[in-house]
């Protein structure tokens, strides 16, 4: 990540000017000039003095001058210094907390609906893009499985995870089976595999197939077939994306080529998954700004993300993404609060 150690070599005056330049740029979206800062300065510093300080801050890598005659804008290093040492985080308001609680409650007990609601909340409350990484099926823990007979040899397989996810799939068997046989197969799986991850269940079934290859009875054969086909889905996590269209009103996206790159990134999702996956192993909120990653550099965006969990087990991650000129003092606590809220909501589902 970016090295911001040189921030500690600045005197209080220079730190204040850096903070105010970044704050002003975030608020106004235009390069900040020394004259603008002089009008805002309460210390009475002249424009010439501020200009010299801003030039020094540029040499240290905190600011950048897009054009010779323009003012200055923050670099990724400047933003990181602002986040780490200069800004004062704002608390999530009581009104926002109530809004979040109401929306998650209305999502019901279904885990996926709660995650959908969370991605919408992230976007709505930040006016940026809300992201939620849903765990791959192989990482979810089985709560119950049921098999419903359909026409002919088709069976509807319904898998319920411990966090309330419901996944259903229609599978076709080689021959018809009776409703009683389906009940016995579901009971066998629920009694022997509930509480294990889908990946663990697959591994045990494969071992069972190998151990019992020459002596598989009809029930066990049906269990292996149904479980193999209903639980054999892709282990690629899914990313919920909300609010991308809302970014089009921001001045940073007046360039149509940049808009195209933005929607290509959200459509492809592979690089988003790679970034969000990095939150699964650490603690706390992580920040990627511009050149911190290939994706954020290409878009000149920032990603603020953290993980959510149940019972100490990390399930996925969530975050907010948008132009690097974002209100970090509001966005960072919002991401942290929504991660905790989603974790609590999923824990309620887990205990139900």
- pLDDT for residue 349: 65
User: Could you report how far apart the first and last alpha carbons of the chain are, in Å?
Assistant: 41
- Interior/surface letters 94-103, b for 16+ CB within 10 angstroms, e for the rest: eebeeebeeb
Distance (Å, whole) CA 245 – CA 247 = 5
230 to 58, 88, 167, 182: CA distances (angstroms): 58, 50, 9, 13
- pLDDT for residue 248: 81
Q: Which residues of the chain have pLDDT under 70?
A: 1-3, 42-43, 137-139, 163-164, 209-218, 232-236, 349-352
- pLDDT for residue 221: 76
> 18: Cβ–Cβ under 8 A, 6 or more apart, which residues?
7, 10, 57, 62, 63, 78, 81, 82, 86
Residue 120, CB-side half-sphere exposure with 13 Å CA sphere: 12
Instruction: Return left, alpha or beta for 44; rule: phi > 0 is left, psi -120 to 50 is alpha, else beta.
Output: left
Distance (Å, whole) CA 30 – CA 73 = 8
Q: Which domains does the chain have, with CATH numbers?
A: 5-86 (1.10.10.10), 94-135+237-351 (3.30.450.40), 138-230 (3.30.390.60)
Ramachandran angles phi, psi of 150, nearest 5°: -115, -155
pLDDT in tens, 196-248: 887 788 788 777 766 655 444 667 777 878 877 777 655 667 899 999 888 88
pLDDT in tens, 24-39: 999 998 999 999 999 8
């Amino acid at each position: 990540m970016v090295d911001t150690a040189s921030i500690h070599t600045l005197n209080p005056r220079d730190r204040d000017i850096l903070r105010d330049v970044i704050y002003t740029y975030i608020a106004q979206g235009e390069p900040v000039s020394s004259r603008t800062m002089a009008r805002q300065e309460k210390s009475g510093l002249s424009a010439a003095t501020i200009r010299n300080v801003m030039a020094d801050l540029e040499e240290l890598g905190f600011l950048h001058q897009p054009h010779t005659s323009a003012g200055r804008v923050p670099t990724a290093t400047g933003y990181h210094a602002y986040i780490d040492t200069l800004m004062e985080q704002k608390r999530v308001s009581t009104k926002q907390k109530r809004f979040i609680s109401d929306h998650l409650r209305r999502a019901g007990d279904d885990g996926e609906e709660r995650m959908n609601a969370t991605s919408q909340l992230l976007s709505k409350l930040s006016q940026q893009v809300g992201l939620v990484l849903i765990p791959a099926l192989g990482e979810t823990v089985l709560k119950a499985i049921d098999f419903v007979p359909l026409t002919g040899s088709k069976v509807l397989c319904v898998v319920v995870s411990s966090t309330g996810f419901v996944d259903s799939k229609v599978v076709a068997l080689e021959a018809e089976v009776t409703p009683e046989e389906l009940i016995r197969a579901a009971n066998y799986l629920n009694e022997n595999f509930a509480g294990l991850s889908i990946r663990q269940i697959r591994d045990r079934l494969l071992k069972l197939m190998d151990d019992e290859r020459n002596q598989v009875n009809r029930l066990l054969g049906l269990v292996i077939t149904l479980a193999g086909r209903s639980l054999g889905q892709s282990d690629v996590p899914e990313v919920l994306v909300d609010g991308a269209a809302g970014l089009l009103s921001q001045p940073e996206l007046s360039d149509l080529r940049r808009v195209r790159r933005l929607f290509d990134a959200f459509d492809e999702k592979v690089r988003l998954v790679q970034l969000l996956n990095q939150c699964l192993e650490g603690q706390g909120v992580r920040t990627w700004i511009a050149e911190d990653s290939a994706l954020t550099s290409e878009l000149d965006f920032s990603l603020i993300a953290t993980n959510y969990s149940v019972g100490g087990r990390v399930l996925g991650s969530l975050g907010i993404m948008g132009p690097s000129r974002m209100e970090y003092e509001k966005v960072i606590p919002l991401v942290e609060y929504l991660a905790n809220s989603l974790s609590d909501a999923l824990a309620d589902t887990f205990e139900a």
